[in-house]
Chains A and B, each alone.
Chain A
Amino acid sequence: MAVEWYLVLSAMLFAIGATGVLLRRSPLVVLLCLELMLNAGNLALLAFARSTGTQDGQVFALVVMVVAACEVVVGLGLIVAMFRRRVPLNVDELRGLKG
């Protein structure tokens, strides 16, 4: 199969993730959408790796997965902490960093 199809799928997944990040207010869903964007990137990397027959893309994908795992740990930890402290789980209300 041609690499374009994989890229189209990847772009769609990325767009869905980005839309989710922009539109949803729940931090949990925002986090999920971020994962979606990362994995869209992974898909593109792997597709290119396959089409060129080199290993570089696969290595990158592995690195991205590690980063994603770390990010989830931190992000979920934050969300759980916010929940326990009864902070509203709504990103629009978390405006403490306003300049």
Chain B
Amino acid sequence: MSATGFAWLVLIFPLAGSILIGLGYRRWSGRTAGLIGTGAIALSFASSIGAFVVMLGEPEDARQLTSTAWDYATSVGLDIQLGILVDPLSVVMCLVVSGVSMLIHLYASAYMVSDQGYTRFFAYLNFFVFSMLLLVLAGNFVLLVVGWAFVGFASYALISFWYRRNTATTAGMKAFVINVIGDIGLVLAAFLIFREFGAFDYLTVFEEAPSHFDPDSGTIVAICLLLLVGAFAKSAQLPLHTWLPDAMEGPTPVSALIHAATMVTAGVYLIARMHPLFELAPTAADIAAFGGLATLIVAATIALVVTDLKRIIAYSTMSQIGYMIVAVSIGAYTAGIFHLMTHAFFKALLFMAAGSIIAAMAGNQNIDRMAGFRKAMPFTSFTLIVGALALAGFPLMSGFFSKDEIMVFAAERGGMYWIFAIGGYAAAFLTAFYAFRIGFRVVLGDPCPEAKELEEGHLHHGEHANPVTGEMEDTEVGFPGSEHHIAERAPGMKIAMAVLAFLSIVAGVFQLPGITDSIEEFLAGSFEDSALFHIVPSDESAYLGLLVGGFLSIAGIGLAYLAYVRRPGLTGRLRSRMEGVHGFLQHKWYFDEIIDFLVYRPVIRIGQFFNNVIERVLVDGIVSATVGAVREVGLLVRGAQSGFVRAYALLVLGGFAALALYFLVVSS
């Protein structure tokens, strides 16, 4: 079978799984829905591998394949096909998305089992994977927008999965609204592209773009900036990032799948996919890179003070995606996509471990309450530490190779781009620190009561309360189930975490500078037309970069060890010494407040103005004036309706006679 044939299969399986689970939701009892969902994604993953293998057999210049299922919309001057583009970039993305999704499905099929909405959960989850793969495989802008909107919806549905929790539904709406802002940017960009090229096809647009536009001319910069609005909203980059921490209201597998490994990296994919356009608009690309840099630093600082376990990891995700955005914007496509891949592994792993710990804490997510899980949950502790090491870029872990490659590339481009190298390394130090803020506090120290209980063999059962507001809840549908599983007791979770832990450790081997470079060679099929792609840092500088990164990582971990293990009071003293800074970070740089002030309140004010002036005075005025006029005229003529039939007859005859007279006079 051809690569495109496999690519269609990649799409079909999750869609079929979603429909099957959704339609048969009354019938699937127990874990059936989870098995169907996992199976569908596993088949999709197998098809991705099939596409990958077939593509490896093709010559390097014949790796951009398109395939059309049918005409989506055909009209005068408009020819949109339901077509996919299968090239090395989309195949790599398919592998990552379907592979990580498969493991997270496996994890979720055990983790969510006590939840009343189990079947619904898997219908949504499969639908999400379908949408994400559609986004990745789309061969034109229309299908891209469709996939883009679908993942937005799936994200909304899954964040609000526990729909009787007010905090969850509000978070879902927030995510949806911000994502729609991004959708608008993307749609406007597509319209502009259609206006310029008269086509929606990627390959047509990319081929014509260099001759159509002068570099950095107004229109292409506008197109790229609009694309960036979409990318930044979806990837939670400044200033459209505030939805991602709130999205942690969703179940933990959702956080792992959508808000760490796949959907939030769509923005990175978009910029990489649109690289022919961004290279024509260096201004827009630089803006993107600075946005990414700002995000990666801001998010890393916030992650230092947040106390909610999942939210720390969420800020870490924002920060890591900042690295990827920087990478693909400055032209380090290989490094960006490589980091996307390794990040998907270790961040999904971190979330899974976090989910396991939160289950042991009976839903409590505050890391101040967690301590000493190393004996109670050895496996979870191990995977958590592996994930944290990979996140911190500890030497020889996967994150070590992927992250530093970005900074080396930035330094290689030189000039202004040194900022990205310096900023990136600074944030890498912070990353190592906050990664082990989680790691040391959860794993080491005196066991907390929940950990002690678990050591004695009992899983702690707390009261069912909202972890944010503390409100009491029941365990019916629309709320979390009675208990979530811990990895130690659920083989499915254990397998998924073990595979991801293995990948987090060894994924670096795909791209060892000067030794394997396999990702770069494979991606060449998508990027060889790019001038920036051929800037390859020398092996010496690459290893120097790795050395610096490794040193910073160890330094960060060491500092965390000092602060949280050796002298546990240190952070408290530091906090009281720097009240202002701590408060500033605790309020997340006041982004929510700024947006509230700049956007929310003006919009409400405008709404009130329109309500009070336009609606109440103008519209209501016109309506009531009309009503009044009709009433007055009616009062006036009702006198004629005397009820005397003979009077009516007289009026008719008189009127008729008058008319006849008139015509007689006129005609004579």
Mark A residues whose CB is within 8 Å of B.
18, 21-23, 25, 30, 91-92, 94-99
Contact = CB atoms under 8 A, between A and B. Distances in A.
Given A21-B646, A22-B646, A98 B653 contact: no
A96 B643 CA distance: 7
Nearest to B650: A22
Contacts of A97: 641, 643
Contacts of B606: none
Given A21-B649, A97-B641, A99-B643, 8 more contacts: A21-B646, A22-B653, A91-B644, A91-B646, A94-B643, A94-B645, A98-B641, A99-B637
A98 to B, nearest CB: 3
Contacts of B643: 94-99
A92 B649 contact: no
A19 B315 CA distance: 97
A92 B646 contact: yes
B639 interface: yes
A99 B653 contact: no
B638 interface: yes
Nearest to B641: A99
A99 B650 contact: no
Contacts of B638: 99
Interface residues of B, number: 13
Contacts of A92: 644-646
Contacts of A30: 645
Give the most central of B637, B640, B641: most A CB within 10 Å.
B641
Nearest to B642: A98
A95 B648 CA distance: 12
Interface string B159-197: 000000000000000000000000000000000000000
Contact of A91 (B640, B645, B650): B645
A97 B641 CA distance: 7
A25 B638 CA distance: 24
A97 B646 CA distance: 13
A16 B194 CA distance: 80
B649 A22 contact: yes
Contact of A99 (B640, B645, B646, B649): B640
Contacts of B641: 97-99
B644 A99 contact: no
12 contacts: A21-B649, A21-B653, A22-B646, A22-B649, A91-B644, A92-B645, A92-B646, A95-B644, A98-B642, A99-B637, A99-B638, A99-B642
A98 B648 CA distance: 11
Interface string B605-648: 00000000000000000000000000000000111111111100
A30 B650 CA distance: 13
Contacts of B650: 22
A18 B646 CA distance: 10
Interface string B569-588: 00000000000000000000
Give the most central of B640, B642, B644: most A CB within 10 Å.
B644
Interface string B355-375: 000000000000000000000
A59 to B, nearest CB: 23
The list of the 6 closest CB pairs from A to B, nearest first, reads A99-B641, A98-B643, A95-B643, A99-B638, A91-B645, A21-B649
B644 A18 contact: no
Contacts of A91: 644-646
A28 B650 CA distance: 18
Nearest to A19: B653
A56 B557 CA distance: 109
A23 B644 CA distance: 12
Contacts of A23: 646
A91 B646 CA distance: 7
B420 to A, nearest CB: 84
Nearest to B635: A99
A95 B641 CA distance: 10
Interface in B100-154: none
Contacts of A99: 637-643
B663 to A, nearest CB: 16
A42 B87 CA distance: 89
A16 B650 CA distance: 14
Contacts of B653: 18, 21-22
A37 B639 CA distance: 28
A98 B641 CA distance: 5
Nearest to B640: A99
A38 B163 CA distance: 76
Contacts of B645: 30, 91-92, 94
A14 to B, nearest CB: 10
A95 B645 CA distance: 8
Nearest to B644: A92
A95 B646 CA distance: 11
A18 B657 CA distance: 11
B632 to A, nearest CB: 15
Nearest to A92: B644
Contacts of B642: 95, 98-99
A97 B653 CA distance: 20
Contacts of A18: 653
Nearest to A27: B645
A18 B656 CA distance: 12
Contacts of A96: 643
A25 B645 CA distance: 9
A54 B216 CA distance: 85
Contacts of B646: 21-23, 25, 91-92
A92 B649 CA distance: 12
Contacts of A22: 646, 649-650, 653
A18 B642 CA distance: 20
Contacts of A21: 646, 649, 653
B507 to A, nearest CB: 89
A30 B641 CA distance: 20
A30 B644 CA distance: 13
B654 to A, nearest CB: 10
Contacts of A98: 641-643
Contacts of B649: 21-22
